[in-house]
Structure 1
Amino acid sequence: MLAIFLKTLPFFGLIGLGWLAARSKLFPEEGAVWLTKFVFYFALSAMLFRFAAGLDLAALFDLRFVLAYLAGSVLIWVIGMVAARRRGLAVPEAAMEAHCGMTGNTGFLGVPMLVVLLGERAVGPVLMVLTIDMLVFSTLITLIIHASRSGGLRLAALVPILRGIVSNPMILSMVAGLIWAQMHWPTPGPLDELLALLGAAATPGALFAIGASLASKKVQRLAASAWLSFAKLVLHPLAVGVAAWLFGVEPFAAGVMVAAAALPVAGNVYILAQHFGVAQQRVSAAILISTALSVVTIPLIMLLIGQA
């Protein structure tokens, strides 16, 4: 346990350093915004392209993996939705809580950390989780809120969703990398070095940006936020792990799936909550709490999947 904790500690140390820099005002709040943009549009995109360009699309897609992750995640989504509705929350708030309880920080934390901890074999499963989260569940929450507020689902609601998908640099970089791989194009040396250099900035940049963004968040609506953190850190990996076993997912890929499901609440959930004006305080606090607790829970999950 100690060895695993020490392996994950540098990643959380970078998050803590970003938090400390922002709290002490050495790193201004707007600095976190621009650093996030750099990571999102350049560094992480370069890393994802380079990863995807080395993958075989046929080997990457595993129907059992997809169905298992969808089954486990949908179960947690439904539990979150029902729990919120039983507390008397409106549909948009309930849907946002459900989304919060199963959407992990795969892009900014999972891709850099899990690939380092679990090796290059983890690239494919991590990218599959990231793709499902972005294409399926981000679309789902947007459609539900639009339908709830407009009295039904309208075709016009699909336009911003499709625009967001096709303009998302993480999706674009993965698709471009997979196309590059399928075409068997060689990567020129200078281009590969550029991508490697830029991609190397993704891990420290993303983790520092996570910490800096947490500095402005406060713990409010503690009971609800604690429940959402519990759903994300405990229930989601448990549900996904059981689903992976039921669907017969290959053990290593199943372990990566569980580790990805154990990641804390994603920062882009707060962006959605802020955009729609729904449950911002609860989501913000859940991101802060789940990220802090994941210092302990992620090493535990890594230990468990290592023994599976």
Structure 2
Amino acid sequence: MIEIFLKTLPFFGVICLGYWAGRSGLFGAAATAALTRFVFYFALSALLFGFSSNLSIAELFEWRVASAYLWGCGVVYALALMVAFLRRLPLAEAAMEAHTAIIGNTGFLGVPMLVLLMGVEAAGTILLILSIDLLLFSSLLTMVITISREGRLSAELPRRLLVGVLKNPMIMAMVVGLAWAGTGIDVPVPVNEFMTLLGAAATPGALFAIGASLADKSAERLHIAGWLSFAKLVLHPLAVAFAALVLFDVEPYAAGVMVAAAALPVAGNVYILAQHFGVAPARVSAAILISTAFSIATLPLVIAWAGAG
């Protein structure tokens, strides 16, 4: 356990460094936005292309893994919805809280951290989880908020969802990488080295950007943010573990990767969605801040258990 904690400590150390840089004014909002764009559009996309171009569709979309992850997400999502409805929240806010309870920082934190700590073999499972989060649950949130505001399904909704997918560089990098892998042709050496060099910037850049982006967030509505953080850091990995190990008999290594990914703190892109739709941004911001802080203690525990399993 101490060994895993020491291995994860440098990752959180870079996050803390980014947080300090943001709070001290050395790294302002404009710099943070620029770094985030670099990581999002270039470094992380190169990293994802490198992983996916060496996978096959069969390796990525393993039905037991997908079913177990969806079941675990569904249970926590339904619970978070129920808690929100008991507090008499409108549908849009309830959906945003449910989304916050299940969407982890898989892209910026999970891909670089878990692949390094659990092995490159974890990439397929992590990319599958990232695909489900981005394609299914982000689309679901968009549909629910649109329906709650317009009272009906808009004819424009399918087009907006498709445009959103096409504009997401992480999704497109995975699609292009898998398409290349499907040809059976090896990636040319200069292209592979270019992607490796650019992708190497994803880990430090993403971690620093996470910390810097947290610097301007305030911990408002602590009791609600605390509940959402508990749901994300504790209930979500427990539900995924039960589904993987009991209901769907997922192979132990893949199950461990799934549970570790489910234990990640709330993703920063949830705040981007909350701000974009104008739905509970302060609540989501506080949940990101609290869950990231507490994951310094909880995530090494889960990774140590997953590695032992």
Query: TM-score range, shorter-chain basis?
Result: over 0.9
1:107 is matched with: 107
TM-score, normalization by structure 2: 0.98
Residue 158 (structure 1) shift: 2.2
Residue 98 (structure 1) shift: 0.3
AA aligned to 1:122 is A
2:224 is matched with: 224
2:145 is matched with: 145
AA aligned to 1:11 is F
1:157 is matched with: 157
1:275 is matched with: 276
Residue 193 (structure 1) shift: 1.2
- State the distance in 1 between where 2:2 and 2:287 align: 26
Residue 59 (structure 1) shift: 2.4
AA aligned to 1:253 is A
Q: Would you say 1:189 and 2:201 are equivalent positions? A: no
Does the residue aligned with 2:250 lie in a helix, a strand or coil? coil
Residue 307 (structure 1) shift: 2.7
Q: Which moved more, 1:286-295 or 1:51-60?
A: 51-60
The unaligned stretches of length 5 or more in structure 1 are none
Residue 188 (structure 1) shift: 2.0
- State the distance in 2 between where 1:292 and 1:179 align: 38
AA aligned to 1:260 is A
Q: Would you say 1:122 and 2:141 are equivalent positions? A: no
- State the distance in 2 between where 1:165 and 1:296 align: 34
1:296 is matched with: 297
The unaligned stretches of length 5 or more in structure 2 are none
CA contact (8 A) 2:260 2:299 kept: yes
- State the distance in 2 between where 1:307 and 1:219 align: 35
- State the distance in 2 between where 1:45 and 1:111 align: 11
CA contact (8 A) 2:69 2:244 kept: yes
CA contact (8 A) 2:118 2:307 kept: no
- State the distance in 2 between where 1:250 and 1:179 align: 26
CA contact (8 A) 2:221 2:286 kept: yes
- State the distance in 2 between where 1:52 and 1:59 align: 10
- State the distance in 2 between where 1:244 and 1:253 align: 9
Q: Would you say 1:26 and 2:49 are equivalent positions? A: no
Residue 259 (structure 1) shift: 0.4
Residue 160 (structure 1) shift: 1.4
Matched residue count: 308
2:257 is matched with: 256
Does the residue aligned with 2:156 lie in a helix, a strand or coil? helix
AA aligned to 2:18 is G
Q: Kindly report which structure 2 residues correspond to 1:21-100, keeping only aligned pairs within 5 A, or say none.
A: 21-100=21-100
AA aligned to 1:133 is D
AA aligned to 1:282 is R
- What's the CA shift string for 1:21-54, capped at 9, x where partnerless? 1111111111111100000000000000011111
- State the distance in 1 between where 2:63 and 2:255 align: 13
1:8 is matched with: 8
- State the distance in 2 between where 1:307 and 1:181 align: 32
- What's the CA shift string for 1:204-231, capped at 9, x where partnerless? 0000000000000010000000000000
Residue 166 (structure 1) shift: 1.6
CA contact (8 A) 2:91 2:145 kept: yes
- State the distance in 1 between where 2:84 and 2:127 align: 30
AA aligned to 1:306 is G
Aligned residues with identical type, % of pairs: 59
- State the distance in 1 between where 2:216 and 2:159 align: 32
Does the residue aligned with 1:155 lie in a helix, a strand or coil? coil
- State the distance in 2 between where 1:192 and 1:67 align: 32
Q: Which moved more, 1:192-201 or 1:158-167?
A: 158-167
- State the distance in 1 between where 2:58 and 2:222 align: 45
Does the residue aligned with 1:101 lie in a helix, a strand or coil? helix
Residue 186 (structure 1) shift: 2.3
- State the distance in 1 between where 2:293 and 2:202 align: 21
Residue 152 (structure 1) shift: 1.6
Q: Which runs of 4+ in 1 moved over 4 A?
A: none
TM-score, normalization by structure 1: 0.99
